Amino acid sequence: MTTQQVSVDHPSRGTLRAYAGTELAGARLESVDHHVAECRECIVTLAELTDTAELARGWARLDRSLDEPRPGRFERLLRLLGLHEDLARIAATTPALHASWLGTAAFIMVGALLITRYAPADVAGLAFLTTFPVLPVVGAALSFGPSLDPTYELTLVSPIGRFPIILLRTLSVLITLIGIAGLGSLAMPQQGLAAVAWMAPSLALTLVTIALTVKLEPRVAGACTAAAWAVCVIATSNSDGTSVLLTVEGQLAVAGLVVVAGAAVVRLRRYFDLLTPIDFPSLARATP
Amino acid sequence: MPSATVAVTGLIRRYGRHIALDQVSLGLTKGVTGLLGPNGAGKTTLLRILATALSPDQGTIDMLGIDPLTAKGRLEARRVLGYLPQHPGFHPGFTAFEFIDYVGILRRITNRAQRHDETRRVLDAVGLSDVRGKKIKTLSGGMRQRVALAAAIVGDPQFLILDEPTVGLDPNQRLRFRELIAELGEDHVVLLSTHQTEDVGALCQHVVVLAGGTVRFDGTPADLSAYAAGRVWHSAQKDPNAVAGWRTGQGTVHNIGSPPPGATLLEPTLEDGYLLLLDGDPALKEVA
């Protein structure tokens, strides 16, 4: 047995551990080197000490860090704003938040702003008031639906439920758009109420759209809300470009609508949790 | 102690005047149950109801001791069931890992490390560890179907609902998929719909035939084959009295129906039983 030849001075386990950890140097390193080269027993000990478990853990850690999903810009922003990382992911998968859609929204806003700036006064304020609040409605309509969310059915039957997801997604679209529109309204020629008159209707119309999705396909719900809003703006406007919606009373009425629609959404929340028959035609259409 | 069974009684579901499910009752235990039926038989409606995506107009469900038809039970049920929809969709930008991780979020696995471990486990279970970092849109149809199966088993739900899981797979992929499902059947309640009798023959211990919204057969695959006992024969030319007949690879004609006296009877297959069972079905004539 080779072990017998060198059995006199086996290095201690501590020394071997240090050797394995490449902590030895100089003469000690050399002597252990010599010994290990000859001693089978110490090689076995050494193999034990070169912690394979630790090595495996190291690989696993590396593997994990490679697997780690990398959040996109929007998701990082949401996390920065303090949203829980899981919710940020759900919000970030909102179909309506895709760059193409946001680009279109920004384009429409710029258009509306240009109208406000350069069009005759009698259409300017109204163009702004009609367009801006409709954008989050479109966003809400595109946030969750059988034909837009590829994982619709899966999301529907997940324990997290459809209601929080609808809220989360529409609100993140709304907040994003309010951000963009807020910057836009700084460029408005008129200041005061006219510059912020779009804000309450945005919220109100979004809530109305959400409430309607209990019975209507989200896109239909969005279209109905947008159409109703256009009619409402036209009906309440005068030919000189003033509108009751641009007054304090009008804004209070809209604020009332926010409360009513919000209450309706909360009351209806359990109905969001099931596939409604209305979803069916679109689900059928989605099948190849 | 929750029971490891799923029992459905008197399920009725209408879409307008059309009755999709009419008094459907069935019981499921551990193992793989095949739900067989022609297109339009009500299979997907039944699976959607069991997956809590849809509610029935009438009937009761006992899912592992949970009543998914109540608001509270529905959330509990969603934790114990895994669902592979008929047309699973994916967010276009996701890798396999990111998608499963997202499903983990929807299933409320809030601890990130735990969720990532679970993601790796299910991807490994379906044999997709190697491509976990690839975008789903670059994967083959068979691989995507496996991603969808992986999504269904996140969190190890005890009741698996698979809607036509083998559709669109080539023979090789189908074989691999059957293996996976058979494995899951060892300790899960698995219900899969298909219109392929080979799937049922290959992996189901229990088969339910649904046609025109009602249960036509409920038993073992052997019993379904036995339904055609004494009614399958072969002949040199197609027998005009046969319900159905087709020339096989051997050159003779395989007939099912009422054999003429002295015919050479054949051992019935599952397909023979299924075809005879559905023969003369008014609901099928409607579909055809």
A158 and B15 in contact by Cβ < 8 A? no
A93 and B133 in contact by Cβ < 8 A? no
With tokens 């969005």, the residue in question is A222
Output the tens digit of pLDDT for each of chain B's 288 residues: 445 699 999 999 988 788 899 999 999 999 999 999 988 889 999 999 999 988 899 999 999 999 999 888 988 999 999 999 988 888 878 899 999 999 999 998 989 889 999 999 999 988 899 999 999 989 988 899 999 999 999 999 999 999 999 887 888 888 888 998 999 999 999 999 988 888 898 899 999 999 989 999 999 999 999 998 888 988 888 888 788 888 888 888 888 888 888 888 889 999 999 988 888 655 444 443
Relative to beta strand B6-15, strand B31-36 is unpaired
Which residue from B91, B106, B116 is facing A150, i.e. has the nearest CB? B91
How many pairs of residues across A and B have Cβ atoms under 8 Å apart?
Answer: 89
Chain B residues with CB under 8 Å of A158 CB are 78, 103, 106-108
pTM for this predicted structure? 0.79
Q: What's the token pair of residue B188? A: 């899960």
At residue A35, does pLDDT exceed 80? yes
In which element (H, E) is residue B235 found? strand B232-235
Which residue from B81, B88, B101 is facing A69, i.e. has the nearest CB? B101
Distance separating alpha carbons of residues B118 and B103, to the nearest angstrom: 11
- Most B CBs within 10 Å: which of A67, A100, A147, A155, as the mutation test of the B interface? A67
Find the chain A residues whose C-beta atoms sit closer than 8 A to any C-beta of B.
64, 66-69, 85-86, 89-90, 93, 149-161, 270, 273-275, 277, 280, 286-288
Sign of CA dihedral B61, B64, B67, B72: negative
SS3 content of chain B, % helix, strand, coil (to 5): 35, 25, 35
Reference A201, options A240, A180, A172, A228; nearest CA is: A228
User: B117-123 contacts: CB < 8 A, separation 24 or more?
Assistant: B118/B154, B118/B155, B119/A67, B119/B154, B120/A67, B122/B150, B122/B151, B122/B153, B122/B154, B123/B96, B123/B97, B123/B150
Q: What's the token pair of residue B175? A: 């074989």
- Identity of the residue numbered A151: T
CA distance A49 to chain B (A): 27
Which residue from A154, A159, A275 is facing B108, i.e. has the nearest CB? A159
Relative to beta strand B31-36, strand B189-194 is parallel
Distance separating alpha carbons of residues A115 and A242, to the nearest angstrom: 16
Maximum distance among all alpha carbons in chain B? 70
Q: Could you tell me the CA-to-CA distances from A235 to A206, A245, A251, B240, B278 in Å, in that order? A: 20, 10, 15, 74, 61
With tokens 């089978």, the residue in question is A40
Q: Tell me, what's the pLDDT at B281?
A: 55
Reference B74, options A273, A280, A145, A277; nearest CA is: A273
CA distance A154 to chain B (A): 7
Residue pLDDT, tens place only, A260-273: 999 998 888 877 77
Reference B128, options A67, A90, A61; nearest CA is: A67
Q: What's the token pair of residue B106? A: 């929807």
Distance separating alpha carbons of residues A282 and A269, to the nearest angstrom: 22
Relative to beta strand B232-235, strand B264-265 is antiparallel
Chain B residues with CB under 8 Å of A274 CB are 52-55
With tokens 């080197």, the residue in question is A33
